[in-house]
Amino acid sequence: MEDRVLSRDRRCNLLFGVRDRISGVPIRRGRSQLVDGRVQAWGTNSNKLPWSWQRIPPILSRSLLFVCWAALCPAIAAVHAGSLTDRPPPGPHHRLTAEDHASCPSSRTGQPIVGTTYFYWYDVYTGEHITDPDGTSALTRRPPADAMADLSYRSVGWHERQLLDVAAAGIDFVMPVYWGLPGEYEAWSFVGLRALVQAHERMTAARASNAAAPRPPAIGMFYDTSTLRHHGRDTKEAIDLTTDEGRAWFYVTIRDFWSLIPPNQWARVDGRPIVFLYAASFAAAVDEELFTDLRARFQAEFGTDLFLVHHMDWPGRADAWYFWGGATGLKIGRHVAALGPGYDESAVQGRRPPLIVGRQRGAFYDRQWESLLRIAPVCRPWIVHVETWNEWHEGTDIARSHDANDLYMRATAKYADAFRAGARLDPQGSFVNASRVTWSGRRVGGLHLRESGGDGRWHRTVVDDSPAVSSIEGARPEWGRYLYFDVDDSYVFGDVGLTAEVTVVYRDDGGCGRFWIEYDSSDPESGALAGAFRSSPAVTVGQTGTWRSITRQLPDALLSNRCNGADLRLAIDGDRRQLTVRELVVRRLPGRGINE
């Protein structure tokens, strides 16, 4: 079979066609997703960054050709689904029982742990993911020169050096970014995992003979669900995860991965192996029954359930969820915080102009960790996803590097230790001791009106000699209209049990029917996305043509920037959906200091 590497611009054209530059997912007309608590079209303002480019996987065996008949004959689909699960997995670690897991190490729910996405597709011997076909470098950033000599997913030595560095960085588990396809067991995804397992065994043996040797990081799974669309089969259709065949494909992908990893190497929570899922948008369809089916199959074959962490756009019951895009700034999901050192896709062909979030010589990375550590431990996420260990194409790596050596490893070790210890950093800034923060059309005092090119657009105006702003139509007419406000982090950030008081001065001119405040709350059941969009009672807007003032109390105000990167927003509805505002004031109620 042909196994070749295409240039990344050609690969993006072949795989995506029209592609949203920021989200990296196909623009799919007529479909919608929940993004930041609102429904909007695929390919719009997403929190996901561009997916990492990948070689096109080899074509599957001829035995799968009849899949395309499944839509015409349900019986054939059932037979094919059976053939996927009947085929033995590539590794020996399946048909397990509870006894196989009894002595395996595991963390527990709520115990702070740190993991990272581990990219292992590089091969200096073939040039895969190292050099583009035109001879230019495929890497925006690179490891030290002496590490390039044996940089290969095939090399046990390379994996061992990476695991040693991961341990030195204080990271508890790695998640190989997995592109494995059922049946293609000689492809790089499988070859690399076998080498990784051997490297882990070397570290385990070294520690057995020397207690001072580092403990190898455990191994979790990052399922790059891009393979649901880029699956190498003769059909161009994405996998439909609502069908028997699709669910079998989904399960077998996960089964094959874990069959290669010895149970004593698994990264676990409450004894269950950790699986992160990338975006659901690569599937043709998905429903809430998928995870139930997956768990039942896995339990039956592996003798334990999964600890399932999905990207925020999946339906169904999971144990936690996360946002992709932490490399560009702290993203807080349900039990998971994602963060990273910056982003630079300059070497990625076909992405012009490139998206760049500067590292600032490590200061950007420090700020993301410090923001997380300012959140009260009782309500902050207990899993950190460092994004990434070594994605050198998009420059999100914290691994040992040519220009920074072990700078980011040392920083990670310091912050990870503090995180696991439950430490909390004191707030720093100009508004630590302020009685309130304010925004008005005339001045800003610790409260900022956020500009948004999506659903939070506005323009400046003057009414009765008062500078103000008015909401205007977003990038798409069907989107909601909001005004986003960000409270200075030195005043309030990530507190627990705090009640905030918000006063809004607005124009009672009939421009909208009503508005209400949505804010980032510490109560995960109080609003969309684990409380990131908790609503206050609505305010009815009249037509008196005067300035009016309303005050609302916001209980359990976390205000940790989860409201689309802000702390709160005014949601506007009715008539022309035009709300004119001249002033906002946010105040902590007496007796509720941010360090309590």
Tokens of 435: 């009685």
Say whether both 179 and 268 belong to one domain: yes
> Per the structure block, which two tokens stand in for 556?
């359990």
| In a domain? residue 481 | yes
Q: Which of 385, 420, 455 is the last residue of a domain?
A: 420
User: What phi, psi does 248 have (nearest 5°)?
Assistant: -65, -45
**Residue 363 CB neighbour total at 10 angstroms:** 11
Residue type, 418: A
Q: State residue 13's pLDDT score.
A: 30
3 burial level (CB within 10 Å; 0-12, 13-18, 19+): middle
pLDDT at site 15: 27
Is residue 133 a part of any domain in this protein? Answer: yes
Q: Do 537 and 584 fall into the same domain? A: yes
Looking at residue 171, which CATH number applies to its domain?
3.20.20.80
Report, in this order, helix, strand and coil percent for the chain, each rounded to 5.
Answer: 25, 25, 50
- The last residue of one of the domains, among 353, 385, 420, is 420
Residue 1 inside a domain? The answer is no
Integer Cα distance of 447 and 519 in angstroms: 14
Hey, is 122 helix, strand or coil? coil
* Distance in angstroms (rounded) separating the CA atoms of residues 348 and 144: 20
Residues 374 and 456 in one domain: no
Same domain, 396 and 522: no
| Closest by CA position to 203, among listed 171, 160, 169 | 160
Host domain of residue 494: 437-588
**CA–CA separation, 535 vs 521, rounded Å?**
9
Domain assignment present for residue 410? The answer is yes
Q: How many residues does the chain have?
A: 596
Q: How many domains does the chain have?
A: 2
Q: In 279-369, where do the E strands start and end?
A: 307-311, 320-322, 331-332, 336-339, 343-344, 356-357
Which amino acid is it at 548? R
Neighbours of 236 (CB within 10 A): 8
pLDDT for the residue 82: 67
Cα 238 to the center of its chain, rounded Å: 22
> Which pLDDT does position 74 carry in this prediction?
38
- Say what the pTM is: 0.85
Give 514-574 as a DSSP string: EEEEEE-BS-TTSEHHHHTEEEPPPEE-----EEEEEEEEETTB--SSTBTTBSEEEEEES
pLDDT at residue 81, rounded to an integer: 62
**Residue among 267, 12, 63 at smallest CA distance from 182:** 63
In this structure, the answer to whether residues 245 and 302 fall within a common structural domain is yes
Query: What is the CATH classification number for the domain harbouring 496?
Result: 2.60.120.260
Rounded to whole angstroms, the Cα distance separating 77 from 410 reads 52
> Cβ distance 233 to 59 under 8 Å?
yes
Asked if the peptide bond before residue 235 counts as cis, ω within 30 degrees of 0, the response is no
CA distance linking residue 346 with residue 12, whole number of Å: 15
Closest to 447 in 3D by CA, of 555, 586, 550, 559? 586
Q: Point out the domain boundary residue: 394, 420, 446.
A: 420
Residue that is written with structure tokens 């292992």 in the block: 120
| Residue 80, pLDDT score | 53
Let me know whether 396 and 445 are in one domain. Answer: no
Same domain for 149 and 122? yes
> Is 88 a domain residue?
yes
Q: What pLDDT score does 591 carry?
A: 55
> Is 429 part of any domain?
no
C-alpha radius of gyration, the chain, whole number: 25
Closest CA to 523 of 491, 553, 497, 548: 497
- Say if residue 119 is in the same domain as residue 207: yes
pLDDT in tens, the chain (596 residues): 222 222 333 233 322 222 332 233 332 222 223 333 332 322 323 333 333 333 323 322 323 222 332 332 333 344 456 688 889 999 999 999 999 999 999 999 999 999 999 999 999 999 999 999 999 999 999 999 999 999 999 999 999 999 999 999 999 999 999 999 999 999 999 999 999 999 999 999 999 999 999 999 999 999 999 999 998 777 789 999 999 999 999 999 999 999 999 999 999 999 999 999 999 999 999 999 999 999 999 999 999 999 999 999 999 999 999 999 999 999 999 999 999 999 999 999 999 999 999 999 999 999 999 999 999 999 999 999 999 999 999 999 999 999 999 999 999 999 999 999 999 999 999 999 999 999 999 999 999 999 887 899 999 999 999 999 999 999 898 999 999 999 999 999 999 889 999 999 999 999 999 999 999 999 999 999 999 999 999 999 999 999 999 999 999 999 999 999 999 999 999 989 999 999 999 999 975 444 34
* Residue 428 belongs to some domain of the structure: no
User: What pLDDT is recorded for position 66?
Assistant: 28
Q: What is residue 359's predicted lDDT score, i.e. its pLDDT? A: 98
Judge if 34 and 151 occupy the same domain. Answer: yes
Residue 561 and residue 492 in contact, taking contact as beta carbons nearer than 8 Å: no
Q: Compute how many other C-beta atoms are within 10 angstroms of the C-beta atom of residue 62.
A: 8
Q: Are residues 285 and 137 in the same domain?
A: yes
How far is Cα of residue 194 from the mean position of the Cα atoms in its chain?
26
In 3D space, the residue among 21, 24, 44 whose CA is nearest the CA of residue 34 turns out to be 44
Distance of alpha carbon 295 from alpha carbon 287, whole angstroms: 14
Single-letter residue type at 427: P
Per the structure block, which two tokens stand in for 297? 């199959």
Pair 457, 383 in one domain: no
The answer to whether position 584 is within a domain reads yes
Are 408 and 447 part of one and the same domain?
A: no
Paired strand residues for 117: 175
CA 251, 257, 261, 267 dihedral sign is negative
Per-residue pLDDT at 453: 77
| 26: DSSP letter | B
